[in-house]
Amino acid sequence: MTWTPMSTVEGLPLIGGQGRFRTLARAEGGLAYEIRYPAGVASPVHSHDHDSIVYLLSGSLRGTLDGREVALEAGGTIVHPRGVPHSVEAVADSQWVEFKTPPPSRPPIGG
């Protein structure tokens, strides 16, 4: 599986640099990405047409979920429900697996 540079999320540019991603698996009901952000990289506030379940493998993330401040440490999980505005920022170099269901109608992340 090849890592791809990531500079956008839902068509919006990342803040503070680039991340990387790779597709882990695809199924009729969804897909899974592995994503890495170096410390200081963040997504802008965005929402999407699918639910995302994030499992943080390493690092530390903070952000917002429907206007509330949230934090996630390694081993933690958070859900970004479809249509709910949220943002993510890597406090430390961070790596996570993100499951998206149903499959997004268009690529949600890109280079």
Q: What is the pTM of this model?
A: 0.93
Cα separation values, 105 from 9, 10, 42, 49, Å: 14, 11, 23, 7
Q: Which of 83, 71, 88 is nearest to 33 (CA)?
A: 88
pLDDT beyond 70 at 111 = no
The tens digit of pLDDT for each residue in 66-107 reads 999 999 999 999 999 999 999 999 999 999 999 999 988 777
* Residue ranges of domains in the chain, CATH in brackets: 4-105 (2.60.120.10)
The tens digit of pLDDT for each residue in 25-51 reads 999 999 999 999 999 999 999 999 999
Cβ-based burial of 46 (10 A; exposed 0-12, middle 13-18, buried ≥19)? middle
- The pLDDT value given to residue 96: 98
